[in-house]
Amino acid sequence: MSRAQRQTFALLLGNAILCLVVAQANHGLAGWQLHLWPGGLLVATAALQAGPGAGTTAVFVAGLALDAVAPVPFGTQAFVLLTGHTALFSLRRRLAHKATPVRVAVAGLACGVTLLAFMIAVAVAGLGRAGVGRVLADFVVSLGVTALVAPWFFALQGRLLDLAQAGLRAEEQWLD
């Protein structure tokens, strides 16, 4: 198995764990009509901790998995996450992406941008008109949870990549 394949599988395993945790949290928050958006973490970890091919594949598959259980056209979340990943990956060289505070800030920014893009895609498709208050509440809750969970998730993904012996090579890392 090649290094890129090991990297992809390690990222997919971490993404699956995050999606399961978020699904359980969303089930608990359904009574308050709140929804957590894991997109920022999925995009940030793949863009900051993986190579271009493995990160793109992992984000796209995670988006398809999120699409499978959402009442949106299939591929909507995958397209939004893939677009966010591409934009963030192109900025990776300009960020101190090994520092945890920078990673958390990038994950929060990615959360906001991908959630906004997803809500616009849903509105354009005419699938629902969530009120501004609901979208704002989802954004605030998702941003808060992203800030709390991001260090754990980055550590989990880093450890999974280490176990798969698929961490970034020296030439792929940002030089300090």
Read off the pLDDT of residues 25-44 as tens digits, 9 standing for 90 and up.
Answer: 999 998 998 889 888 899 99
170 located within any domain? no
159 located within any domain? yes
127 located within any domain? yes
Mean pLDDT of the chain: 84
Share above pLDDT 70 across residues of the chain, in percent, rounded to a whole number: 90
Provide the domain limits for residue 92. Answer: 3-163
> Residue 157 belongs to what H/E stretch?
helix 132-163
Total-model pTM: 0.85
168 located within any domain? no
Give the mean pLDDT of 8-15: 93
Look-up: residue for tokens 């608990």? 28
21 located within any domain? yes
137 located within any domain? yes
User: What is the per-residue pLDDT across 33-76, written as a single tens digit (0 to 9) for each?
Assistant: 888 988 889 999 888 888 888 899 999 999 999 888 877 788 88
Helix crossing, 100-125 with 39-49: angle to 10°?
Answer: 130
20 located within any domain? yes
113 located within any domain? yes
Rounded (10°) CA dihedral 135, 57, 16, 44: -50
Measured CA to CA, the distance from residue 149 to residue 45 in angstroms comes to: 12
Domain count for the chain, please give it.
1
